[in-house]
Amino acid sequence: MILLDGKKTSADIKEEIALEVRELKNKGNKAPHLAAIIVGNDGASITYVNAKVKACERVGFESTLIRLPNETSEEDLLNEIAILNIDNDIDGFIVQLPLPKHINEQKVIMAIDPNKDVDGFHPTNVGKMALNLPTFISATPFGILELLDRYNVETSGKHVVVLGRSHIVGSPMSILLSQKRKVGNATVTMCHSRTKNLKEITLQADIIVAAIGIPEFLKADMVKDNVTVIDVGITRLADSSRKNGFRLVGDVAFNEVSKKAAFITPVPGGVGPMTIAMLLKNTLLACQRKAK
């Protein structure tokens, strides 16, 4: 069993990006600039955004963090987005999700300039991704492709089963892995809450992408030997034996499934760290496109 180490791979990618940034600066060009808007005080979102700011520093990016109170109106948030859209110094920006309930997420995503949408959520970028045109691929699917590529996991002609159909992971993964690309050319089955005979389907899979949001859902009796497993889930489970009172688990029962797997991502330390690395990669790409 080979562990698909997202922590190490993301560190490698950040080093590569830092090198490119130094080369940009040496040629007299400006460093890429990533901005993030966060609304409210969601603990997980704050932790995630702070990690993005630190990652920017590490690779030599400029970063701007705009923190808005929970009661910020939809109109005020859209005004902030409009300012970033026309700010020539900002190469890419994200609006951290989830947003407070009184704000329409789709309206917010639609308001972002697709050329600065480094999260890859705007319908223009999703459409280009579906047509296999150059675009920003959202960070989590992009990170999974990169992990599979760097560990030389063969996808061509393989049967991939994607558990979950979210717009952020499940749907884009099913499209990307079926496309004619280096990490692609797979036959993909997408499963969800209405799928019947799920175990029969997962037992046929050469590669499983688990993004279903149910802790330790995928068990050893649901996979065949030498399967590749990508675990996108992350859930806090109470654990009194731990100092912090909880443990982090994925959508895969790691201890039992890893015994049958050829490749598997751990949780934490698998897909998670790749997400920030690929967000940085998209921002570098936005900066390079603008310079052309």
Catalytic site residues? 52, 96, 119
Q: Which residue has the tokens 């705007």?
A: 122
Q: Which residue has the tokens 């496109």?
A: 289
Buried residues in 232-250 as b, exposed as e (16+ CB within 10 A): bbbeeeeeeeeeeeeebbb
In whole angstroms, give the CA distance from residue 197 to residue 209. Answer: 17
- Backbone Cα Rg of the chain: 19
In whole angstroms, give the CA distance from residue 198 to residue 212. Answer: 13
